[in-house]
Chains A and B, each alone.
Chain A
Amino acid sequence: QVQLVQSGAEVKKPGASVKVSCKASGYTFTGYYMHWVRQAPGQGPEWMGVINTSDGTTSYAQKFQGRVTMTRDTSTSAVYMELSSPRSEDTAIYYCARGTASALYYFDYWGQGTLVTVSS
């Protein structure tokens, strides 16, 4: 069965980058794009970007351009999302979510989420 398992909660001071991992299993890793979606407390989800797990190419939401880096490791079926210079407004649950086979930008499986708290 498809599983996306994310790394544990993080507490960061403003300005210290944070890196979240997502390990996939139960399917052919390179056959599906992986997205990152975040959700601030009490808010709807917000799409951050996507990585082509086959060739590593990425596309980021304009809001996060220059601050987010998504990478993948095909040997371990893992994707990573690094957010640099986080600020308090970046406090949120960060999810990896698999893009579907039929259309790129909706999501059939989600990780359990990683709470990132940015606080001085």
Chain B
Amino acid sequence: DIVMTQSPDSLAVSLGERATFTCKSSQGVVYSSNNKNYLAWYQQKPGQPPKLLISWASTRESGVPDRFSGSGSGTDFTLTITSLQAEDVAVYYCQQYYTAPPTFGPGTKVDI
């Protein structure tokens, strides 16, 4: 199975400031045939299911604010929240869907 790791475990960011956190996979998650990275990011608020934010490492889902951006390729990925808002307090998970079983990272908790 592909192991996903995330860092840091948690971080506190002031309102309006930038939050950046990383995700690493134990093996590459990019298919050479289409050059796509099979990596998603989810946001989970307390008492709610995960919400899909970004797929293909950098494609925002419909309705996701443009302050969220994903980047990276191969084994190293980053999620950036520019200008953190109060409603962004959550745990953020990365997930690879390159191969079964799909696996999630342990999450990064973002606080104000």
- A residues sitting closer than 8 Å to B (CB atoms) are 43-47, 59, 61-62, 95, 97, 100, 102-108, 110-113
What are 13 A-B interface contacts by the 8 Å CB criterion? A44-B107, A45-B50, A45-B95, A47-B104, A61-B101, A95-B49, A105-B97, A106-B97, A107-B52, A108-B52, A108-B61, A110-B49, A113-B49
| B103 contacts partner chain A, Cβ-Cβ < 8 Å | yes
Residue among B49, B50, B95, B101 facing the most chain A CB atoms (10 A cut-off): B49
Which residues of chain A are near B38, meaning CB under 8 Å? 103, 105-106
Interface residues of B (CB under 8 A from A): 38, 40, 42, 49-52, 55, 61, 93, 95, 97, 99-107
Q: From residue A112, how far is it (CB to closest CB) to chain B in Å? A: 6
Closest to B4 in A: A44
CA distance A102 to B61 in the complex (A): 13
Q: Are A47 and B49 in contact (CB under 8 A)?
A: no
Question: A106 to B93, Cβ gap below 8 A?
Answer: no
Known: A100-B55, A108-B52, A108-B61. A46 touches B104 (CB 8 A): yes
